[in-house]
Amino acid sequence: MKRQRWAGRAFALALLATCGPLLAADFQAGVARVEITPPQPFWMSGYAARTHPSEGVYQALWAKALALRDDEGHRAVVVTTDLIGLPRAISDEVAARVNARFGIEREALVLSASHTHCGPAVRKNLAVLYDFNEEDRRRVDAYGIELVDRLVEVAGKALEDLAPASLSVGHGAVGFAVNRREPTPEGVKIGVNPAGPVDHDVPVLKVTAKDGSLKAVLFGYACHNTTLGGDFYQIGGDYAGFAQAELERARPGATALFVMLCGGDQNPNPRGTLDLARQYGQALGAEVGRVLDTALLPVRPPIRTALEVVPLDFAPHTRAAFVEESASPDKFRQRRARLMLAAYDEGRPVRQTPYPVQAIRLGGDLTLLALGGEPVVDYALRVKRELAGENLIVAGYCHDVMCYIPSRRVQREGGYEAVDNMIYYGQPGPFAETVEETIFAAVRRVAERVGLR
Ligand SMILES: [Zn+2]
Helix/strand/coil (H/E/C) assignment for every residue in 237-291 = CHHHHHHHHHHHHHCCCCEEEEEEECCCCEEECCCCCHHHHHHHHHHHHHHHHHH
Give the pLDDT mean for 266-277. Answer: 98
pTM here?
A: 0.94
Within 10 angstroms of residue 160's Cβ, the number of other Cβ atoms is 11
Q: How confident is the model at residue 50 (pLDDT cuts 50, 70, 90)?
A: very high
Which H or E run includes 44?
none
How close is the Cα of 264 to the center of ligand 1, in Å? 6
The backbone torsions φ and ψ at residue 54, rounded to the nearest 5 degrees and listed phi first, read -65, 160
pLDDT of residue 25: 65
> For the chain, how many helices (H) and strands (E)?
11, 19
How close is the Cα of 198 to the center of ligand 1, in Å? 15
Residue 306, pLDDT above cutoff 80: yes
- Answer for the pair 282, 401: CB distance below 8 angstroms, yes or no: no
Q: What is the pLDDT of residues 172-221, one digit of tens each?
A: 999 999 999 999 999 999 999 999 999 999 999 999 999 999 999 999 99
The backbone torsions φ and ψ at residue 256, rounded to the nearest 5 degrees and listed phi first, read -105, 125
Average pLDDT over the chain reads 94
Q: In the chain, what is the straight-line distance between the N-terminal and C-terminal CA atoms, in Å?
A: 15
DSSP 8-class letter at 131: -
* 215 dihedral zone (left: phi>0; alpha: psi -120 to 50; beta): alpha
**CA-to-CA distance for 223 and 284, rounded, in angstroms?**
11
How close is the Cα of 391 to the center of ligand 1, in Å? 26
Residue 16, pLDDT above cutoff 50: no
pLDDT of residue 21: 41
Q: How confident is the model at residue 18 (pLDDT cuts 50, 70, 90)?
A: very low
Percentage helix, strand, coil for the chain under 3-state DSSP, each rounded to 5: 35, 30, 35
Residue 3, pLDDT above cutoff 60: no
How close is the Cα of 375 to the center of ligand 1, in Å? 9
How close is the Cα of 411 to the center of ligand 1, in Å? 16
DSSP 8-class letter at 306: E
How close is the Cα of 172 to the center of ligand 1, in Å? 24
pLDDT of residue 128: 85
Residue 282, pLDDT above cutoff 70: yes
